[in-house]
Chains A and B, each alone.
Chain A
């Protein structure tokens, strides 16, 4: 099976990998780039544990081919803290204990960040619907929503 050479940017760094056509972006991140923060919770785009952004748009990396990343900009949880400084969402998730087992957390953080970039002042309902594609089995979402609201408020104040 011939492999495809892909050049893409991940978290701001140019990277290259060789992948089979059938490999998903999630496979490529985890297996070729050793970025295991994104998780496969369902493999069918229903749980959001594999959430990353591609050219700034939230996607399920389990339903994007590795080949499709060619020339794109990918952002994963590993790039969320900049120069060692946690993103406000990350800090607020710790402050509120908005996570328990942690398996869905990378996806939820990436999804929440993408919401706040699009809408810095979302209502509670908008947040809950935006996170419709991110399943968390531990928290019942209460502290997640509160942490996102708190981070949004802080980010608005800072900007």
Chain B
């Protein structure tokens, strides 16, 4: 690892100040991706601003019918939360299936979506659940937040403080694990929302997480696994790599979508 400086601010403002003052700083949340890349010399930030000492970023609560999850909440905390399990059980199960226990104990929801790994689970969950990403300066709809591979709408010096997820009783995420990394080779999150069915897919798209109109239309008119049979899922725009061709991923999207609907 290259030398770096470590900051542990106790407020959002102090965190922003620390990052702004750094030559090439990074927020450190769970560190499960960032520290690994730093150790491999793939990243060398001058400063690490550890956000886990900021009380405003932690905790899970209900705000009416909306779940509010602090950005520094770990996957294990989301998985175990009574509020999440009652308001949005599909999200709790998604969190419970991320990586392995060590990752779930350190990795955070804010860190995951800020990184926007194209095979991460949370982006699909939040997109399907029509979540809102709250930062220190604004609120961003999930539809506008995830912009492409490792790319989000976040500005420099902007920090995610929480995620707002509308309660959703009928939602589920089905993941087909990439066998080596345990990330999603294809992960499909389906949700029955006030605005109809939403279906978001991770692991498969060349541009990262995306919604699938055909699946959404089919499920909006008939929320059943069999409704998916007639949907054409094109391999165009899907990734091809040693773990799966685009055609295989297209197949998995349908299979996982059906399994998610069945589980929801």
Contacts and interface: CB of A to CB of B under 8 A. Distances in A.
B4 A45 contact: no
A1 interface: yes
A114 B105 CA distance: 12
Q: Interface SS of chain A: helix, strand, loop or mixed?
A: mixed
Interface stretch (B35-43, B154-162, B194-202, B246-254): B35-43
A81 interface: no
Interface in B4-51: 4-6, 8, 28, 31-32, 35-36, 38-40, 48, 50
A63 B106 contact: yes
Nearest to B106: A59
A155 B2 CA distance: 45
B214 interface: no
Interface stretch (B58-66, B94-102, B184-192): B94-102
Contact of A132 (B2, B36, B39, B100): B100
Given A51-B102, A57-B76, A132-B182, A22 B32 contact: no
Interface residues of B, number: 28
A57 B80 CA distance: 13
Contacts of A115: 101
A10 interface: no
Contact of A64 (B6, B31, B181): B31
B101 A58 contact: yes
Given A44-B39, A68-B50, A20 B3 contact: yes
B50 A111 contact: no
Given A21-B48, A22-B3, A68-B50, A60 B39 contact: no
Interface residues of A, number: 30
A41 interface: no
B218 interface: no
B263 interface: no
Nearest to B39: A43
A4 B76 CA distance: 29
Nearest to B80: A118
Interface of B: 1-6, 8, 28, 31-32, 35-36, 38-40, 48, 50, 52, 76, 99-103, 105-106, 181-182
22 contacts: A24-B35, A43-B36, A45-B32, A45-B36, A57-B76, A58-B101, A58-B105, A59-B106, A60-B103, A60-B106, A63-B32, A63-B102, A64-B35, A65-B35, A65-B48, A67-B6, A67-B8, A67-B50, A68-B50, A115-B101, A132-B100, A133-B99
Interface of A: 1-2, 4, 20-22, 24, 43-46, 48, 51, 54, 57-60, 62-65, 67-68, 111, 114-115, 130, 132-133
Given A21-B3, A64-B31, 6 more contacts: A22-B4, A59-B102, A63-B31, A63-B35, A64-B35, A133-B102
Smallest CB-CB A-B distances: 8 pairs: A133-B100, A21-B6, A57-B105, A22-B1, A44-B36, A132-B100, A60-B102, A63-B35
